[in-house]
Amino acid sequence: MAEAGSFADRVKQQADIVRVIGEYVRLKKSGQNFTGLCPFHGEKTPSFAVHPVKQIFHCFGCGKGGDVFSFVMEMEKCPFPEAVKVVAEKCGIAIPRPKERTPEERKENQQRAALIEIHREAQAFFVRQLESTAEGRAARAYLEDRGLNAETIARFGIGYAPSGGDVLLRQLKPKYADKLLVESGVISRDQSGARLFDRFRRRITFPIANESGKIVAFGCRALGDDLPKYLNSPETPIYSKSNVLYHLDRAKEPIRRQDFAIMVEGYMDAIAVARAGIGNVVASCGTSLAEPQIKLLGRFTKRVVVNYDPDVAGQAATERSLTLLLEHDFEVRVLALPAIGDKKADPDLFIREKGADAYIKVLKEAPPYVDYLIARARQMDLSTGEGKQRALNFLMPYVQRIPNRLLRSEWATRIAQQLRIDEPVLRAALNKSATERRGEVKVAPQLVGKPAKQIERRLIRMLAEAEGFKKELAQRLQHGRLYEGLETEKVFAALIVAGLSDEPIPATEIGAQLDERERRVFFEILFEDAQEPTWEEAESCLDALRRRQIEQELAKVQKTIEANPSGAGLRELLERKQELMKQLTAAGQPG
Ligand SMILES: [Zn+2]
């Protein structure tokens, strides 16, 4: 937990939980809270809430809740110190140098920092080559021929890797150990292991940045007819292909603003689309989209237009990506660009030939993915039963992945009409496989808190928030032991201790002392819309608890008397009963 005065505490004071969580979950203002779809369990209607004032979150579905750090720990699957760092970085809070680390951690961090530095130097080198060498100028002419002017080249950091074979190596070697250079991926080692050389030669270089804008890899295109046409950085300690989306560092703001992303295949496509003034574009940099990339994108939007190349590989990639995107509840449209003459058009070619406006027009008209798939199925031979079966087999896996039952049913009808398939037959097939399909995550019933009674809920809220009288209230509750035996007894006990203390204790810390079920009830109460409490109301709640206490004792006394009407001590019991009846009258009637 964040100790008072510690760095974590300072971060928590400064961090805006809505902004941090907003990077992972799309939040909408709803009353005093923000709500969205819970990232921890599958759901269709938002039951996840963030409280900007109390700086806490809570899911009414699965019950997860806590402060900004527990959220990041859960999302990033990282320990507390790491979560503090993540939040600090997101909020632009300078991180003090860590005092102690394990030697391994320190070594790893140094290695990562050195690898980033190598990439920074390599990037500067490639850019210089493009600008100031004869070879580079030829590369520049090639780029200009493809419609990339100086402004675009500078904006996207495009550079050139010369053909020499060791030009970059000679520059880096004095500063870095051979082993580190090879680990960076920009330098390779020959098979004998004796000789080092530049991995990228005679190629246009495109820097690939991670989400926070640090260059971690390069994508390189051959200048001539050299093979392979594209050569990228290998996997390194700072780069994993499936974890990075090209251009996301710049696209994340536009994506969040417009609440959708355009997914293209390569960096040239992304650059072409971004140049056309459409900033919310990312490239998967490879023919198929990997699950970590989808999760990454899902932090910014759940709506995507897939615009892959129209060739066979691109179609297959589109269909593979669809499967994954649907599983992650994305709303997907597919843009299949019309051919230009007899040429199949990728986004780069299309924009060059037809212009940005034409692209924006087809983008707006991009059909939902099911329409795209039906169109693909209709290209199959539907004149025979076998052909129809094939088309159906092609479509069915996608339809089954639609998590929404109503939508699934709607699409079944459309497919039946379009493919001229008997609808009941199709529905039977669909239902059969629907039962085999993974359902939404069910909430464990024992976790669902029983609703505490209204009076308890009000008192808990007051104990947590009524700055003017919560101490007095805590004293009264403790003195009369009024909360004992309540369903929420433990919540009261924790709040009373906090209320009596002179230091303000945040809700998350109180929550941390409770077990899961109790914390859940507590957070739910904090999120309820409620009126400003008054002392008058507090007193009437206290009265109600007092009556309840008396009534309970009265019932007990009565039971003892009835169980043994002639026993010893009857006299005392009867006296006690009288006394309690009197107290009850004095405590007044519930009103
Ligand atoms: Zn949840």
The pocket of ion ligand 1, defined by CB under 5 A, consists of: 38, 40-41, 59, 61-62
For every residue of 284-323, DSSP letters joined together read -SSSS--HHHHHHHHTT-SEEEEE--SSHHHHHHHHHHHH
* 188: enclosing H helix or E strand: strand 187-189
pLDDT digits (tens, 9 = 90+) for 351-377: 989 999 999 999 999 998 888 888 888
Q: How far is the CA of 73 from the centre of ligand 1 (A)?
A: 15
Q: How far is the CA of 41 from the centre of ligand 1 (A)?
A: 5
Phi and psi angles of residue 236, each rounded to the nearest 5 degrees, phi first: -135, 175
Mean pLDDT, the chain, rounded, equals 85
With pLDDT > 90 as the criterion, what percentage of the chain qualifies? 34
Q: How far is the CA of 61 from the centre of ligand 1 (A)?
A: 5
pTM of the model: 0.60
Give the pLDDT score at 455. 86
Contact between 35 and 48 under an 8 Å Cβ cutoff? The reply is: yes
Greater confidence, 300 or 200?
200
CA 188 remoteness from chain centre: 36
Give the pLDDT score at 449. 40
Question: What is the mean pLDDT of the segment spanning 231-256?
Answer: 91
Residue 589 has pLDDT above 80, yes or no: no
Pairing of strands 215-222, 230-232: antiparallel
60: tokens are 């009414």
Q: How far is the CA of 43 from the centre of ligand 1 (A)?
A: 8
Name the residue among 42, 60, 109, 155 with its Cα closest to residue 524.
Answer: 60
Q: How far is the CA of 56 from the centre of ligand 1 (A)?
A: 14
Cα 580 to Cα 476, 567, 587, distances in angstroms: 20, 20, 10
Residue 196's SS3 state is strand
Q: How far is the CA of 131 from the centre of ligand 1 (A)?
A: 53
Contact between 440 and 43 under an 8 Å Cβ cutoff? The reply is: yes
How is the beta sheet containing 261-264 ordered, strand by strand? 281-283, 261-264, 303-307, 331-334
Residue 329 has pLDDT above 80, yes or no: no
Question: What is the mean pLDDT of the segment spanning 68-88?
Answer: 89
Pairing of strands 331-334, 303-307: parallel
Dihedral of the alpha carbons of 177, 179, 183, 184, in degrees to the nearest 10: 20
Residue 104 has pLDDT above 60, yes or no: yes
pLDDT digits (tens, 9 = 90+) for 108-138: 888 999 999 999 999 999 999 999 999 999 9
For every residue of 111-136, DSSP letters joined together read HHHHHHHHHHHHHHHHHHHHHHSHHH
Lowest mean pLDDT among 27-31, 117-121, 368-372, 450-454: 450-454
Give the pLDDT score at 444. 33
Q: How far is the CA of 365 from the centre of ligand 1 (A)?
A: 34
Greater confidence, 433 or 249?
249
Name the residue among 371, 297, 307, 313 with its Cα closest to residue 338.
Answer: 307
Compute the distance between CA of residue 522 and CA of residue 516 in angstroms, rounded to an integer.
10
59: tokens are 């899911």
Residue 344, exposed/middle/buried by CB under 10 A (0-12, 13-18, 19+)?
Answer: middle
The dihedral sign for the CA sequence 417, 419, 420, 424: negative
Query: Buried b / exposed e across 300-329, counting CB within 10 Å, b at 16+?
Result: bbbbbbbbbbbeeebbebbbebbebbbebb
Residue 277 has pLDDT above 70, yes or no: yes
Give the pLDDT score at 135. 92
Residue 231's SS3 state is strand
Cis peptide before 228 (omega within 30 of 0): yes
pLDDT digits (tens, 9 = 90+) for 133-159: 999 999 999 999 888 899 999 999 999
503: tokens are 């230091």
Compute the distance between CA of residue 248 and CA of residue 225 in angstroms, rounded to an integer.
30
DSSP 8-state code for residue 212: T
pLDDT digits (tens, 9 = 90+) for 398-448: 877 776 677 777 888 888 888 887 777 777 776 665 554 443 333 333 333
Greater confidence, 286 or 449?
286
Give the pLDDT score at 442. 32
CA 243 remoteness from chain centre: 14
Q: How far is the CA of 195 from the centre of ligand 1 (A)?
A: 54
Q: How far is the CA of 57 from the centre of ligand 1 (A)?
A: 10
Q: How far is the CA of 75 from the centre of ligand 1 (A)?
A: 12
Q: Give a three-class secondary structure readout of 41-95.
A: CCCCCCCEEEECCCCEEEECCCCCEECHHHHHHHHHCCCHHHHHHHHHHHCCCCC
Beta carbons within 10 angstroms of residue 92's beta carbon: 7
Greater confidence, 161 or 192?
161
553: tokens are 């004792």
Residue 590 has pLDDT above 80, yes or no: no
